A and B are shown apart, each in its own frame.
Chain A
Amino acid sequence: MKMDKQPTPLERFINGILPENPVYRQVLGMCPTLAVTNNLKGAMTMAGAVCFVLLCANVITSLIRDLLKPHLRIVVFTLTIATFVTIVDRFLAAYMYQMSKQLGPYVPLIIVNCIIICRCEVCASKQPVITAAADALGQSVGYAMALASIAFVREIMGTGMLFGFRVLPAVWPDWVIMILPPGAFLTLGLLMGLVNFVIMRLSSTNDKHAGGTA
């Protein structure tokens, strides 16, 4: 049977950052993206947690990929992801208690985060461990960057602080709406529009060049 050319580990890694960015391109995992981007510290903690779970789930799924049959796939994915999320949640509660309280129920919600199930399904269940791990890392980096961009905007405009340190001068009237729910939706929507715009521009200049040389 002829196999299609599967993406290499490096390709998977780079894909995860912008072309297949989980938040801006695939529009997955919206729930924690909106909820924890009040401040940069929470956003980075969430990104770290997702990275751990994604990496472990991808590696384990890739190790057992030959033994998985279609009807059992979802059960195994769910069990794996739920276990690792429990581990991360307990770890945060033990060693970063305040952050765990701030993130609240959004850490367990990583279980139903579409990103992880999607990556397990699309990549880890079909490709060897190294590729799966590279894919996990790439997606995590992309996710972290997306979260950081949103949290940066929200925290600076909403409180004038970054990572808890006052950055803007006191004359800045804190736009409290930015750290409340509406601010989350608006920021993400507008940033998504911006990313779409940039990508459209890039692809249209590429087409122009290609069309010109053809």
Chain B
Amino acid sequence: MNYLIDILLIAVSAALINNFVLYYFVGICPFIGVSRQIDMAVGMGLAVTFVMCIAAFLSWTVTTFILIPGALLSKLVAGFFVSPEAASKVDLTILSYIVYIFAIAASVQFVEMYVRRFFPALYKSFGVFLPLITTNCAILFACLTIMSHVAGVDNPADAWDLGRALTLAFFGGIGFTIAIVIMAGIREELDFCDIPQCMKGPAITLVVAGLLSMAFMGFTGVDSGLKKALKSRSVKNAALEMKIENYDVTSVPGTARAHMKNMIASKEHPCLS
């Protein structure tokens, strides 16, 4: 249950609150370049989502099983050359960026083949934009975020598992799609407006993006509110029991004990918030 709550929070955060385009500024190039028509925008957004999921899967796997110190495969291979102690300290994270960019290139190739085989009309309409997804910052950004939650945590037990990584990738892509589709809708309307010559093109798109970003700022704080609401409901009773037996109330002086009992009863206790 808690796992699902975590997944939900990661999803909401990646798609809406910390939107890849409007908050983290990644994926701007296609955002400006491809957002002229809604159907192109939808296609691009879904293609990016697809590539992101595959790339996230590849990068999580390689990071967890090869790159971080103490990873399974690096320990095995190094175990042939050095002592097991040293083998578990082999740290290959310096190769992460190279590995990720090649994983992304491979994913794009894969998706290109898939789209060419099953959606030939779509493939033709994409033209040169499909291979250009390789240089889309959003995908590398997703891989880097996953890396920071796998290789960059203090406590190895806190490292993200595959489910969380894929959730981030998928909903990050969905957030990108949402942003690009909204932008495409606005730009279709802008075509009928009288824009000064100097502002036409990227300039007005960026100003519109600024207003969109301002609108999305309204989502800030949604995940902390959501977290409080969901977590308190699911663990309230369990926490109540657990904490009461933990706070050995017999050892606490008189008035404080009554005070604590009151707090737990009136749900003011911080563990219940």
Question: For residue B32, which residues in chain A have a CB less than 8 angstroms away from its CB?
Answer: 27, 30
Rounded to whole angstroms, the CA-CA distance of A85 and B217 in the bound complex is 32
Question: For residue A108, which residues in chain B have a CB less than 8 angstroms away from its CB?
Answer: 97, 140, 144
Question: For residue A89, which residues in chain B have a CB less than 8 angstroms away from its CB?
Answer: 97
With A34-B25, A82-B101, A86-B98 given, can you name 4 additional A-B contacts, CB distance below 8 Å?
Answer: A31-B137, A78-B101, A86-B97, A109-B26
In contact, B140 and A189 (Cβ under 8 angstroms): no
Rounded to whole angstroms, the CA-CA distance of A48 and B134 in the bound complex is 24
Chain A residue with Cβ nearest B99: A82
One of B201-209, B242-250, B260-268 contacting the partner? B201-209
Question: For residue A35, which residues in chain B have a CB less than 8 angstroms away from its CB?
Answer: 24-25
Pick the contact of B140: A27, A83, A86, A111 (CB < 8 A).
A111
Question: For residue A83, which residues in chain B have a CB less than 8 angstroms away from its CB?
Answer: 98
The A/B interface has a contact count, at CB < 8 Å, of 112
A83-124 interface bits toward B, Cβ cutoff 8 Å, 1 = contact, 0 = none: 101100110000000000000010011011110010000000
One of A60-68, A126-134, A157-165, A177-185 contacting the partner? A177-185
Pick the contact of B203: A82, A113, A182, A192 (CB < 8 A).
A192
Chain B residue with Cβ nearest A78: B101
Residue A7 CB within 8 A of the other chain: no
In contact, B29 and A181 (Cβ under 8 angstroms): no
Chain B's interface: helix, strand, loop or mixed, by majority? helix
Query: Of A111, A112, A197, which is in contact with the most chain B CB atoms at under 10 Å from its CB?
Result: A112
In contact, B210 and A189 (Cβ under 8 angstroms): yes
Residue A79 CB within 8 A of the other chain: yes
Question: For residue B88, which residues in chain A have a CB less than 8 angstroms away from its CB?
Answer: none
Residue A205 CB within 8 A of the other chain: no
Question: For residue B134, which residues in chain A have a CB less than 8 angstroms away from its CB?
Answer: 112
Question: For residue B145, which residues in chain A have a CB less than 8 angstroms away from its CB?
Answer: 105
A interface vs B, CB < 8 Å?
27-28, 30-32, 34-35, 74-75, 78-79, 82-83, 85-86, 89-90, 105, 108-109, 111-114, 117, 177, 180-186, 188-190, 192-194, 196-197, 200
In contact, A181 and B213 (Cβ under 8 angstroms): yes
Rounded to whole angstroms, the CA-CA distance of A193 and B137 in the bound complex is 24
B102-126 contacts to A, CB under 8 A, are 102, 105
Rounded to whole angstroms, the CA-CA distance of A77 and B261 in the bound complex is 67
B interface vs A, CB < 8 Å?
22-29, 32, 94-95, 97-98, 101-102, 105, 134-137, 140-141, 144-145, 148, 196-199, 202-211, 213-214, 217
In contact, B210 and A182 (Cβ under 8 angstroms): yes
Question: For residue B203, which residues in chain A have a CB less than 8 angstroms away from its CB?
Answer: 189-190, 192-193, 196
A82-B98, A181-B217, A197-B198 known; A109 vs B140 contact (CB < 8 Å): yes
Rounded to whole angstroms, the CA-CA distance of A119 and B29 in the bound complex is 17
Question: For residue B95, which residues in chain A have a CB less than 8 angstroms away from its CB?
Answer: 86
Chain A's interface: helix, strand, loop or mixed, by majority? helix
Rounded to whole angstroms, the CA-CA distance of A194 and B205 in the bound complex is 14
In contact, A185 and B135 (Cβ under 8 angstroms): no
A34-B28, A181-B25 known; A112 vs B105 contact (CB < 8 Å): no
In contact, B141 and A193 (Cβ under 8 angstroms): no
In contact, A79 and B210 (Cβ under 8 angstroms): no
Lowest 9 CB-CB distances: which A-B pairs, in order? A189-B206, A185-B210, A189-B207, A197-B198, A186-B210, A30-B28, A196-B198, A193-B203, A182-B214
Listed by A's residue number, 26 A-B pairs whose Cβ atoms lie within 8 Å are: A28-B29, A30-B32, A31-B28, A34-B28, A35-B24, A78-B102, A82-B97, A85-B97, A105-B145, A108-B144, A112-B134, A112-B136, A117-B135, A182-B211, A184-B210, A185-B209, A186-B207, A188-B206, A189-B199, A189-B202, A189-B206, A189-B207, A193-B204, A194-B198, A196-B199, A196-B203
Pick the contact of A192: B94, B101, B196, B202 (CB < 8 A).
B202
Rounded to whole angstroms, the CA-CA distance of A79 and B105 in the bound complex is 12
A109-B140, A112-B136, A112-B140 known; A180 vs B198 contact (CB < 8 Å): no
In contact, A86 and B94 (Cβ under 8 angstroms): yes
